[in-house]
Amino acid sequence: MANELILIVEDNEKNRKLVRDVLQFKGYRTIEAETGEVAVTLAKQHKPDLILMDYQLPGIDGIETFRRVRGEASTAHIPIVAVTASAMPEDAKKMMDAGFDGFQTKPLNVKQFMQAVADLFSAKAAG
């Protein structure tokens, strides 16, 4: 597979670089946003195949960004995975209840993270 376009929404440069590097190494194309507002704009412009979104962002948070992306007809279909340092069960439940398509905790286990991305695209391809 690979070559899919993935929007990385992360305000921490080191975290963004890690995600970008491992995705690009596996053949994915990436675009990046540091804020939820920019993420919404990029999602509308580029229609990525997947959005990986930090939960805690400056400006609007991950849940509000999620709602805005899903609220647009042109981007409502894009899978969105929450990526967060908050590993508390109630936070995971809040994100899944909001409708996120998945949940990854930081620090990332790169192997598990890449498997989750591959699984999401496999499930999407299978229908």
- In tens digits, what is the pLDDT along the chain, a chain of 127 residues? 579 999 999 999 999 999 999 999 999 999 999 999 999 999 999 999 999 999 889 999 999 999 999 999 999 999 999 998 876 778 778 888 889 998 898 889 999 999 999 999 988 887 7
For 63, the domain range is 5-126
Q: What is the DSSP letter of 55?
A: S
Domain count across the chain: 1
Q: What is the CATH number of the domain that holds 89?
A: 3.40.50.2300
